[in-house]
Amino acid sequence: MKFSIAQDSRVGARPHNQDRVGHWRAPQALLMALADGMGGHLRGELAAQIALEHLAAEFAREARPKLADPDLFLFRTIGRAHAAIQKRAEELRLTEAPRTTVVACVVQEGWAYWGHVGDSRLYLIRKGRVVTRTRDHTRVQQLIDQGRIREEAISSHPERNRLLRCLGGDQAPRLEPTACERLAKNDVLLLCSDGFWGPLTQRQIVNALLAKDLAQAVPELVSLAERRAGPQCDNVSVVAIAWGEEEIRPAEAPRTVAHHDLPTEVQDFTATDPDFLRMSDADIEKAVAEIKAALRKNARLR
């Protein structure tokens, strides 16, 4: 695989950095992940650390030399990270389980696969524009989807920090099917916390990545986010790759369906609870196969 990679994480104006970010390489696969521990709850940094440790450990165990099924890996591993956080909270006898957002991306055989919970984002930038970004699991995003507010209102809305899903806490997050996209040469995949994307405009992010290579652009964007956020600056974290291989499109590429366009049967099926998180690998593999079949059925109906 040909790519360049850069990452940065800073405390901002907060007393502690509760973000965790990392990337891990196997001979034929790459994993990037970022978790933003929730400061409004006890020990958010612990939840973020557990989430990334769990993702990294499972990737090291399974990517030999690549993942057998990146979709299944992300769907299963993100779900089980929630259970790992709850288990650690019980072991430490915490009064409440710590909580975190997470976004994770696998790059393998020229494809990117990603999943997320919360408002940490993934952007796919191609030829000077954002072709894909994750949709936040927040009350504000819900209001945008309903047409009640404009996206420009996110930074000033009084409910901008209200998450609808996270890892940890009392309820398991509702997991969505993994998204995927074939990568083209010079594509940029960027994973970031809200401390990064919140103070910056989409144009600022894209223009900086167009003008300079990642090694320069990423730290400069992080510094810009810090300056624009000022004394209220959150932790600021990002990891990004610039893809260096030519796109080789197969005869039939898998179709990526936006999460909000998924058929009801898939949405209902992917609603998870603690029992689901304890399912065997075989049961989860069967579940993901049923989700994919429903997606193919939905695609034929369109």
Identify the residue whose tokens are 């809200």: 194
Rounded distance, CA 226 to CA 217, Å? 14
Q: Is the pLDDT of residue 124 over 80?
A: yes
Rounded distance, CA 13 to CA 224, Å? 14
Cite the DSSP H helix spans in the chain. Answer: 44-62, 70-92, 139-145, 194-197, 202-211, 214-229, 264-269, 274-277, 281-301
Total length of the chain: 302
Q: What is the pLDDT of residues 163-198, one digit of tens each?
A: 899 999 888 888 888 999 999 999 999 999 999 999
pLDDT score, position 7: 97
Reference 296, options 252, 238, 237, 247; nearest CA is 252
The more confident residue out of 72 and 172 is: 72
Domain 3-257 has CATH 3.40.50.300: no
pLDDT band at residue 257 under the 50/70/90 scheme: very low
pLDDT band at residue 272 under the 50/70/90 scheme: very low
Rounded distance, CA 184 to CA 126, Å? 8
Range 231-240 average pLDDT:
97
DSSP-assigned states of every residue in 83-144: HHHHHHHHHHT-SS--EEEEEEEEEETTEEEEEEESS-EEEEEETTEEEEEPPP-BHHHHHH
Rounded distance, CA 41 to CA 38, Å? 6
Rounded distance, CA 297 to CA 286, Å? 17
Range 9-30 average pLDDT:
97
The more confident residue out of 189 and 279 is: 189
pLDDT band at residue 264 under the 50/70/90 scheme: very low
The more confident residue out of 161 and 81 is: 81
Bridge-based pairing of strands 188-192 and 121-126 is antiparallel
Distances (CA, A) of 263 to 135, 164, 191, 254, 288: 17, 20, 27, 17, 15
Q: How crowded is residue 280: how many other Cβ atoms within 10 Å of its Cβ? A: 8
The more confident residue out of 299 and 129 is: 129
pLDDT score, position 45: 95
Phi, psi of 129 (to 5 degrees): -145, 155
pLDDT score, position 281: 62
pLDDT score, position 266: 33
pLDDT band at residue 296 under the 50/70/90 scheme: low
pLDDT score, position 246: 86
pLDDT band at residue 275 under the 50/70/90 scheme: very low
The residues, ordered by sequence, that sit 6+ positions from 146 with a Cβ below 8 Å of its Cβ are none
pLDDT score, position 157: 60
Task: Please state the domain extents for the chain.
Answer: 3-257
Hey, CA dihedral for 164, 169, 170, 175, is it positive or negative?
positive
pLDDT score, position 248: 65
Q: Is the pLDDT of residue 238 over 70?
A: yes
